[in-house]
Amino acid sequence: MNMQVIKTEPATALAKPPVASVALAPKQAPNYDKYIKAAKDAAARIIPPLIVFALLMVFWELLCRRAGSTLPPPSKVYQDTKELIFDPFFDRGGIDKGLFWHLSASLQRVAFGYSLAAVVGIALGTLVGQSVWAMRGLDPIFQVLRTIPPLAWLPLALAAFRDGQPSAIFVIFITSIWPIIINTAVGIRNIPQDYRNVAAVVQLNPLEFFWKVMLPSAAPYIFTGLRIGIGLSWLAIIAAEMLIGGVGIGFFIWDAWNSSHISEIILALFYVGIIGFVLDRMIAGLGKLVTHGTSVS
Amino acid sequence: MTPYLKLDHVDKVFTRGKVSSEVLKDINLNLGKGEYVSIIGHSGCGKSTMLNIIAGLTRATIGGVILEDREVNSPGPDRAVVFQNHSLLPWLTVYQNVRLGVDKVFAKTKSRAERDEWTMHNLNLVQMTHAKDKRPSEISGGMKQRVGIARALAMEPKVLLLDEPFGALDALTRAHLQDSVMALHQKLGNTIVMITHDVDEAVLLSDRIVMMTNGPSATIGEVLDVPLPRPRQRLELASNPVYLDCRKRVLEFLYERHKFVEAA
């Protein structure tokens, strides 16, 4: 009520004695400004990419509209894939499923393989960072193994596991573990001697030292490794799924290519990009949350 | 009287590859219970090494440290250290930093509630209860050092080791904190070993001042008694002849007989 009065007739509102409305007036102004500022900031971040996106779409449309172009323009992509976009949840058995199911199958594989890589990677990284002998023994091996391309592991994994699912998970694991190991090791090696001294004086046992000093101190490094790892595992799963088949966004793309549904490939690529971006931001956000206050000493 | 803390013929040789350098040579020092002893010397004379040997963070090459008739050669909460750069864990709050030590030392002897109370009690001793939920990055340098002192005190150490505790602070904060430490020593009667390179600080706070010769092979050059009654008042001491005499003798030792020689 009062607010409305102020908006329409500020003079009368101020003339009235109630303290509340008088107090409200100066309080409201900065708040209002704050919202405008926040909106402006958001607009400054959102509008430029939107403009560029729109321009790219127009350019693409013009480029691919001509007769005989090999790729469809965006308008055709939209028409061809309308069904897939608006009904991602259908399931007609086999691999004839909505995109949601394909994506969730891929994400599940990544979740398994990546979680395993995170646990094993942090453990191995801690070992290598803490022990000079472990570093001397393991580091050269890691340096060689990490250069092997993800897909090169797939045949070996298929031979070992004789099944697509564990093989795909293994490829994720082996792809994403190296940056996690290496960054964790660097983080552990960089724990300030001061913190070690504190732990020694307080007489923390090795387990307490690991949880209470090592992990938090190395967390910024660990999260750098985790972030690189999630990116790599998302790269690897698409490629691996193309080869192992079954439900999954990678095979969806391959299948679309085999049936010449180019529009579906483009839609799938769009989703893959968005999900990769979200995964990266999720790990970055988690890192920010966990390492709050760690970087400043 | 058997000494409370005894450094018995301590030598320290650092060896890197084929080069070995003797940092400390034949250090003998006895401390009584409740005594406040400062170790002063030019930088590089091995004062910090000596403190680390008492703390157990570094092992003596020859000789050893005896605390209450038992040799100590590994770090432990009975010789709590206040580090030069506070060394608070930045991901823990002020309270958690103190509580970390309390939880370890009193794991069996105090209940959870008692440990909480004891943590707060020690924060209260250094007047830091108001900032208990702040992180180290959110408080000033002097406050951080107060928390460092609280953390050490909370472990109920037999000997409190201060490694240039006020070195990184501005002069006013330093004076304020020196007064706090003096008051705490008065109240709790801790045995304290303090490393310093500040002559006034050494005379103001100590019962005895251990003056180190220059390294390499540094050793104890002279031990000076400071026969000033406690409690001491900074302002009154400024013109006290005993204070001035002690100050003069430390200065003479440091700047006449054992002048610091750059890169000798």
Distance from CA of A186 to the nearest CA of B (A): 19
The predicted pLDDT at position A10 comes to: 43
Distance from CA of A294 to the nearest CA of B (A): 5
For residue B64, what are the β-bridge partners? B8
- Substitution target from B74, B81, B84, B91 for chain A, most A beta carbons within 10 A: B91
Contact B83 A198 (CB under 8 A): yes
Give the confidence band of A29 by pLDDT, cuts at 50, 70, 90. Answer: low
| Percent of chain A whose predicted confidence (pLDDT) is above 70 | 88
Q: B-chain residues within 8 Å CB-CB of A190?
A: none
Residues 6+ apart with CB under 8 A from B88: B94, B97, B136, B144, B147, B148, B151
Q: Does A218 lie at the interface with B, CB-CB under 8 angstroms? A: no
Q: What is the pLDDT of residues B129-186, one digit of tens each?
A: 999 999 998 999 889 999 999 999 999 999 999 998 888 788 888 898 999 899 999 8
In the predicted model, what is the mean pLDDT of residues A67-94?
86
For residue B11, what are the β-bridge partners? B62
The predicted pLDDT at position B44 comes to: 78
Give the confidence band of A28 by pLDDT, cuts at 50, 70, 90. Answer: low
Give the confidence band of B192 by pLDDT, cuts at 50, 70, 90. Answer: very high
Nearest-angstrom CA–CA distance, A115 and A119: 6
Q: What is the pLDDT of residues B93-120, one digit of tens each?
A: 999 999 999 999 999 999 999 999 999 9
For residue B72, what are the β-bridge partners? B65
Give the confidence band of A68 by pLDDT, cuts at 50, 70, 90. Answer: confident
Which is nearest to A246 in space by CA: A127, A124, A97? A97
Q: What is the pLDDT of residues A271-287, one digit of tens each?
A: 999 999 999 999 999 99
Which of A111-126 are b and which e, b meaning 16 or more Cβ less than 10 Å from the residue's Cβ? Answer: ebbbebbbeebbebbb
ipTM of the complex: 0.87
| Percent of chain B whose predicted confidence (pLDDT) is above 90 | 51
Cβ atoms of B228 and B205 within 8 Å: the answer is: no
User: In this structure, what DSSP letter does residue B255 have?
Assistant: I
Cβ-Cβ pairs closer than 8 A, A with B, add up to 63
Say if strands B208-212 and B220-225 run parallel, antiparallel, or are unpaired.
Answer: antiparallel
B98: nearest CA partner in chain A: A202
Residues 6+ apart with CB under 8 A from B122: B98, B102, B150, B151, B153, B154
Residues 6+ apart with CB under 8 A from B23: B12, B13, B14, B46, B49, B215, B216, B217, B218
The predicted pLDDT at position A220 comes to: 92
User: In this structure, what DSSP letter does residue B253 have?
Assistant: I
pLDDT of A14 higher than 60: no
Nearest-angstrom CA–CA distance, B82 and B165: 6
Query: What average pLDDT does the structure give for chain B?
Result: 89
pLDDT of A54 higher than 90: yes
Chain B residue set in contact with A, beta carbons under 8 Å: 55-57, 74-77, 79-81, 83, 85, 87, 89-91, 100-101, 104-105, 135-137, 155
Q: B-chain residues within 8 Å CB-CB of A297?
A: 90, 136-137
Q: A-chain residues within 8 Å CB-CB of B137?
A: 293, 296-297
Tokens 């609280």 correspond to what residue?
B150
Q: Which H helix or E strand runs over A234?
A: helix A215-244
Contact A293 B89 (CB under 8 A): no
**pTM confidence score:** 0.80
Q: Does A126 lie at the interface with B, CB-CB under 8 angstroms? A: no
The predicted pLDDT at position A5 comes to: 42
The predicted pLDDT at position A293 comes to: 52
Contact A197 B137 (CB under 8 A): no
Give the confidence band of A289 by pLDDT, cuts at 50, 70, 90. Answer: confident
